[in-house]
């Protein structure tokens, strides 16, 4: 599909309906070190953050403007388990199987364990950074943005407004979309995005050529969900066994840098340091970021991963 075809579809017509259907179907049914493609909001010393971004259309040759990922992140006796779940590509996952077994045991303590080990839901999308006061050098750039279910819900609410006096928009549209004002604050130890909102509908820029150039800079989202980007069932099982202490070897316990921090030191590091160490450990085990689609089940709930990591910093 060319850029001209993209403009022809700029409306609330078939493209928006297709996106909504895909969400319904999905819900029913990194590079080592820092990844320069990824943009992150920044919280200032007062505990607030602000930026303006624009969600971009699907990359050329791809159908969806987002990629969906399930992952696990928890600490066991043998270290941290920070892995993408194979359920995101419709395959059996060792931790998913264990959680299902524990949840169905009827034991309340088992359910508490499942809640600790449950899947975390996140999304990837291409964005254009309109305003980034914390890092103005990012303004005018195209990045991948990893975000949680709470922000995705705001996107869906824009596409499917709850009240009759609200007009639906396609946030991923160059011409009929809207900038997203990301407002970040800390509430009860969590990163909170409740105040974030979409601005008025309007084109991203007044120059179609400039917008086409932005479109051509987008990163592939389908590459993030490719099956070969996930660890095998056996490798995940081996790592899980080591983290849970169900095997004699502890070699896998040394896979993450964060495991080397004493418990007392873990409590003294700042929230941003904890989040960065977790993210770095997570990315270091993979050649590229991964994302995907799957169903949820009892004991395998969804949660904003950024809030999850923030909570770790305060524990």
- CATH (domain of 179): 3.90.198.10
Q: Specify the pLDDT at position 221.
A: 96
Q: CA 98 to CA 299: how far, in whole Å?
A: 10
**Max CA separation in the chain (angstroms):** 63
For the chain, state the CA radius of gyration.
Answer: 20
What pLDDT does 177 receive? 96
Contact (Cβ atoms closer than 8 angstroms) between residue 274 and residue 266? yes
Q: Is 247 left (phi over 0), alpha (psi -120 to 50) or beta?
A: beta
Instruction: Report, as ranges of residue numbers, the positions in the chain whose pLDDT lies below 70.
Output: 10-34, 247-315
**In the prediction, which pLDDT does 45 show?**
84
Q: Are 127 and 39 in contact (CB under 8 A)?
A: yes
Number of domains in the chain: 1
Q: Report pLDDT for 3.
A: 77
Which residues, other chains included, contact 121 with Cβ-Cβ below 8 Å and sequence gap of 6+?
A: 68, 69, 70, 148, 149, 302, 303, 304, 305
pLDDT digits (tens, 9 = 90+) for 175-201: 999 999 999 998 888 889 999 999 999
pLDDT tens digits along 199-256: 999 999 999 999 999 999 999 999 998 898 899 999 999 999 999 987 543 443 444 4
Residue-level pLDDT at 293: 32
Among 57, 82, 58, smallest CA distance to 70 is for 82
What range defines the domain where residue 131 resides? 1-315
Q: Find, among 143, 111, 96, 61, the residue nearest to 240 by Cα.
A: 96
What was the pLDDT predicted at 265? 41
């Amino acid at each position: 599909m060319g850029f001209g075809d993209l403009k022809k579809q700029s409306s609330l017509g078939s493209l928006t309906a297709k996106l909504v259907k895909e969400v319904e179907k999905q819900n029913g049914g990194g590079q080592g070190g820092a990844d320069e493609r990824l943009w992150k909001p920044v919280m200032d010393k007062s505990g607030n953050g602000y930026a303006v971004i624009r969600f971009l259309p699907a990359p050329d040759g791809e159908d969806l403007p987002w990629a969906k990922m399930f992952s696990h992140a928890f600490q066991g006796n043998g270290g941290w388990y920070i892995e993408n779940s194979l359920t995101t590509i419709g395959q059996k996952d060792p931790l998913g199987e264990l959680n299902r077994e524990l949840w169905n045991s009827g034991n309340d303590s088992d359910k508490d364990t499942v809640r600790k080990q449950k899947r975390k839901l996140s999304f990837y999308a291409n964005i254009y950074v309109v305003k980034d006061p914390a890092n103005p050098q990012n303004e005018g750039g195209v990045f991948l943005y990893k975000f949680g279910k709470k922000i995705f819900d705001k996107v869906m609410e824009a596409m499917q407004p709850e009240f009759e006096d609200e007009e639906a928009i396609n946030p991923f549209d160059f011409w009929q979309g809207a900038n997203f004002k990301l407002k970040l604050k800390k509430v009860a130890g969590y990163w909170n995005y409740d105040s974030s909102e979409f601005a008025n509908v309007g084109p991203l820029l007044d120059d179609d050529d400039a917008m086409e150039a932005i479109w051509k800079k987008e990163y592939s989202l389908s590459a993030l969900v490719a099956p070969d980007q996930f660890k095998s069932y056996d490798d995940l099982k081996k790592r899980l066994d080591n983290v849970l202490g169900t095997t004699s070897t502890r070699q896998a316990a040394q896979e993450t840098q964060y495991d080397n921090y004493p418990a007392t030191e873990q409590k003294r590091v700042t929230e941003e340091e904890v989040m960065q160490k977790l993210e770095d450990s997570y990315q270091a085990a993979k050649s590229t970021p991964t994302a995907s689609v799957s169903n949820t089940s009892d004991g395998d709930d969804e949660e904003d991963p950024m809030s999850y990591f923030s909570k770790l910093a305060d524990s």
